[in-house]
Amino acid sequence: MKPETQEQIDSLVKSNKIMVFMKGNKLMPQCGFSNNVVQILNALGVPFNTFDVLEDPEVRQGIKEYSNWPTIPQVYVDGQFVGGSDILIELYQSGELQQMVEVALAS
């Protein structure tokens, strides 16, 4: 990955409490998995930012290297990689995601 791409991803992850790299954006998700993540975060009523990887092939590939995770969407909370759609569903159902985002937003 190019150093500029690494810096761009780093900046997005560190400057947003909840950051989602996804296909589309929170108003118009472009795949079912991205939509799942948006629906979960909306259900929690928390502020979050998105980056549309379809608009930037460098970031689309770079984020997979950055997290060492092969799929999109990717969710970061308080600078930490949490996971993709399936993991977010599990964390949401167990109540762990709610705690995680509350702690992040309070800090």
Binding-site annotation, residues? 31
Indicate the annotated binding residues for [2Fe-2S] cluster.
31
How far is residue 72's CA from residue 104's CA, in Å, rounded to a whole number? 22
SS3 content of the chain, % helix, strand, coil (to 5): 55, 20, 25
Torsion over CA of 34, 35, 39 and 45, rounded to 10 degrees? 50
